[in-house]
Amino acid sequence: MSDFNQLDALERLAAVIESRKPSQGGDPEKSYVARLFHKGSDAFLKKVGEEATEVVLAAKDCDAGGDRQKLVNEVADLWFHSMIALSHYGVSPADVVNELVRREGLSGLEEKALRKAKAREGQSD
């Protein structure tokens, strides 16, 4: 994958997902993505949950010496379905990458504390 930028790959996939929206001409009879969009958010959010569970199970299998490619495959499925959710809510892969870049160099504990402080500030308004 060194021949092209990984964010470009995500953006290309996002463009395909966007094109599958019924509002963009996606046909639920011919496209899995269009069918998920057509069924509504419950359908693709359910898939996100299922895929997240499958990631956990594949990771646990890796702990027991299982095939790591299965973990890669399940994470790819999770990312794919998450990207459908992102598209539905008007968020791009670049938005997620930008958030990860923003967090770069912060400890996980520090990031969590910042989010909690922001949430408290929002509640006091």
Encoded tokens for 41 = 């958010």
User: E strands along 12-89, which residues?
Assistant: none
C-alpha 65/C-alpha 67 separation (Å) is 7
Q: What is the pTM of this model?
A: 0.82
C-alpha 97/C-alpha 120 separation (Å) is 25
Residue type (1 letter), 109: L
Q: List phi, psi (to 5°) of 92.
A: -105, 160
Q: List phi, psi (to 5°) of 2.
A: -75, -15
Question: Per-residue pLDDT tens for 92-124?
Answer: 999 999 999 988 887 878 777 877 888 888 876
The pLDDT tens digits along the chain (125 residues) read 444 577 789 999 999 999 999 999 999 999 999 999 999 999 999 999 999 999 999 999 999 999 999 999 999 999 999 999 999 999 999 999 999 998 888 787 877 787 788 888 887 65
